[in-house]
Amino acid sequence: MTFKHNFLSFLPILFVVIVTFIVLYPALFHILPDPSHEDLSIVKGEGHFGRNVSFLHPSPLYYFHQYGTQFTSLAIAYRFFDFNSKYYFILNVVLRILAVISIYYFVVKWSKNRITASIAALFFGINTAGIQSTTRVSLFQIYTAIIVFSFFLGKWFQFHQHPTRKTLIGSISFFLLTVLTHPVRLVGTVLLTFAGEFYWFFKNYKERGRRIRVYHFLTLIAVIFLLIFITGTLSSTPELSYKRVSPSILLLALFTGYPPVILSLWFFISNLIISPFSVNYGYISTTLIQNLPQIIPLFAILFSFNLFLKRKFLLVFLSIPVVIFSPLVGYSLKNLEGWQAVWIPITQFGGTFFLLSNLVLIKYWNRFKEISQIGLLGSGIVLANLLIPWLISPEVSGNDQSAFTYIHRYYTVPSIGMGMLIGSVLAICFYSIKDRLLQVKRNLFQLSSLFSYFTSIVFSFFLIVIGLWLIFIQAISTREFLIQEGHNINASKYDSVWIMLEPTISQLLAKEEVTYIYLELDKDFDEKIANAVFKRRVPIHLGEINNPPQVNFIFNREDINNILNEEKEDLIATNSFFAFRIEGTKLIDIKDDVLESHTENK
């Protein structure tokens, strides 16, 4: 299959970009969330970057260690954007769309199929799982890492197709760059590369270029150990160290089902396929999600029976886990203490769909090798990058590290793989239906095989409908989540008020007294949000001070009058009281008016 670079060839990626932008558009009106302020306080804090980005403080190795590159990029962004929320979210959305484009072009090149590439890229762009990397805007570095990761996959494939010194250098260089771009979030790349190298090495060891393949394999291992030393990629962070699941617990879970560590992995996989938010928002009825785990195994049985008729007994054997997965999860219900009711059918449906999709790719490997290869690579990306959250204790908690939050940043990279898997399966099913209908039309079948043709068409049509439905549900669920997270806040108004306040805040550099800033805001402002946002930004803005002054923002005239009754003379003497009225884009100093009014009413 060849591709001509004309206008029509760009329509699929143009469609994907437009849909992704429409889904993510509500994020542009979000205000910097609490965790992003925390991250900004880190890059401004002593021991990290200080007021200016310095390459010698901390040591250069810090920039390649764990979260070093993330905080470096954030420190640079802060120098350009200050506290302007919109600019951060524009950067985030633009980088996410660029990541979508990079995924599309990698998949379309190596699958030689635009259906697979379009679905893979779109699924990543609109997926609800991992949306925390967008709402927690300070995590935008992950999208830069994904762009580099897409280039690495292309160079990696290129080497194994044409093993030369030039392709070896390209593969190794982009592998190194991928991990260095975001060592913590791209740790799965190391595991994926190990597995892929072993596969290609034993598959191609008799072919030409065996020596350079050995060089590539050994060089990658050397680079991996170098990266572990430089970045600490595989070492635990303090927040994760006490949550690691020991080997004994894993073995216990494997044989007894409790604690539900193994099922947690399947739940994490299932979150990528179908978002629990879609149930919470009412886009999927509880009845439907409870019935799906009973329906999809029936189609798995239909698929297995079709394999049996074709005497593909090895595949029939491999299909057994697909058929029994959902009942096994139901059998483990007694061990799923603390699991919400909706989690169980989501795990049953998602796990069965994942296993069934991989079985389809294996079945059609000979007919659609390029597409199947991309789909199975997607499964590898999912599994390799979910090992970290899987090893986190599956106990239910509100802790940010729990993957049970559905939107966790750990899902961002795995969602690439899930998109590739679903895109490959849907493309294969589409071509399978097309081939079967052509065979029937041309009478290229025997009457005895008519039932096999019919079951194959029904099964493929069923998977296409399910896959497209899942993508649609992901899109509306993500958009609804972003709308609700925004709370109809006009972030630009709060940011513009802060910009007007910055000169006043800067006057407090040497103050040790408690300062009060009274603000008269119009009805469009939420006092709680304004107070929280402004209060967080003061110590970040005054990051040079070890003990920044305490600043209280007051929005109620009665409250400020009570404060003035007790501390008026001290506040005036130390110039620790300010009062402003916000009128459109102007900040009006009303300090004298407030003091005069207070004196008259006293």
CATH, residue 551: 3.40.50
What is the pLDDT averaged over residues 252-265?
Answer: 68
482 lies in the same domain as 495: no
Q: What is the pLDDT of residue 56?
A: 44
Residue ending a domain, choose from 486, 520, 555: 486
> Do the domain assignments include residue 58?
no
Is residue 339 located within the same domain as residue 412?
A: yes
Is 243 contained in some domain? Answer: yes
Identity of the amino acid at 579: A
For the stretch 366-420, pLDDT in tens is 999 999 999 999 999 999 988 766 665 444 443 333 445 667 788 999 999 999 9
467 with 526, same domain?
no
Q: What is the CA radius of gyration of the chain?
A: 28
Both 439 and 524 in a single domain? no
Residue 47 lies in a domain: no
Domain count, the chain: 2
Q: Could you give the CA distance from residue 162 to residue 181 in angstroms, rounded to a whole number?
A: 26
Contact 429, 360 (CB under 8 A): yes
Section 305-330 average pLDDT: 82
- Give the end of a domain, one of 428, 460, 486: 486
pLDDT tens, residue by residue, 188-247: 888 899 889 888 887 777 677 778 888 888 898 888 877 776 665 555 554 444 445 555
Residues 6+ away with beta carbon under 8 Å from 238:
none
* Claim to verify: residue 359 and residue 288 sit in the same structural domain: yes
Tell me the pTM.
Answer: 0.88
Within a domain: 64 = no
Q: Check whether residue 477 and residue 499 sit in a common domain.
A: no
* 40 domain residue, yes or no: no
Please give the average per-residue pLDDT across 244-273, as a whole number. Answer: 71
pLDDT at 180: 85
Name the nearest CA neighbour of 377 among 114, 127, 156, 146.
156
Is residue 562 domain-shared with residue 474, that is, in the same domain? no
Question: What proportion of the chain, given as a percentage, has pLDDT over 70?
Answer: 81
Containing structural domain, residue 344: 7-32+83-486
Q: How many CB atoms lie within 10 A of CB 67?
A: 18
Has residue 124 been placed in a domain?
Answer: yes
Regarding whether 507 and 564 lie in a shared domain, the answer is yes
Q: 330 φ, ψ to 5°? A: -60, -35
Domain annotation covers residue 52? no
Does residue 559 sit in the same domain as residue 455? no
Query: What pLDDT score does 375 carry?
Result: 96
CA atoms within 13 A on the CB side of 48: 21
Section 478-493 average pLDDT = 85
Do 301 and 424 fall within a single domain?
yes
The pLDDT confidence band at residue 454, using thresholds 50, 70 and 90, is confident
Same domain, 194 and 207: yes
Three-class SS state of 545: coil
Residues 465 and 502 in one domain: no
- Let me know: does 43 contact 71? Beta carbons within 8 Å: yes
Q: 529 in a domain, yes or no?
A: yes
Domain C-terminal end among 458, 486, 514:
486
Which pLDDT belongs to residue 306? 77
Band of residue 473 on the pLDDT scale cut at 50, 70, 90: very high
